[in-house]
Amino acid sequence: MKAQKNQEGWWRFLALCHACKSAKQLDELLKLFLTIEEQEAIAGRYLIVKELLKGKKTQRDIAGQFEVSIAKITRGSNM
C-alpha cells in the first residue's frame, strides 16, 4: 500500500513539475522540495550520466574527473 501511495505521489510530483511554465518556476519548485544536498546530488548524477552517454571516457576517467568513487559511476551506468 505504501509503495502504491509513493508511486502515486511521484506521478503527481512529475505532473506538478511538468506544469511549470519556465525554468525559473521549475527551479523554485525543486528548491521547495529538495535540500541543497539533494540538489547537488542530482546535479552530479546528471553530469555523470551525460559523460556516460557520450561514451568517450572510461568509468575510471569519469570518476577521476568528478572526484567520485567508481561505484557511483557504475550505479549511473547500470541505470
The b/e string for 27-38 (b: 16+ C-beta within 10 A; e otherwise) is eeeeeeeeeeee
Residue with cell string 568517450: 56
C-alpha cell at 78: 547500470
Q: Are 57 and 66 in contact (CB under 8 A)?
A: no
pLDDT digits (tens, 9 = 90+) for 35-68: 999 999 999 999 999 999 999 999 999 999 999 9
Q: What is the mean pLDDT of residues 21-43?
A: 96
Task: Compare 74 and 52 and report the one with higher pLDDT.
Answer: 52
Is a pLDDT exceeding 90 seen at residue 27? yes
Distance CA 2, CA 78 (A): 26
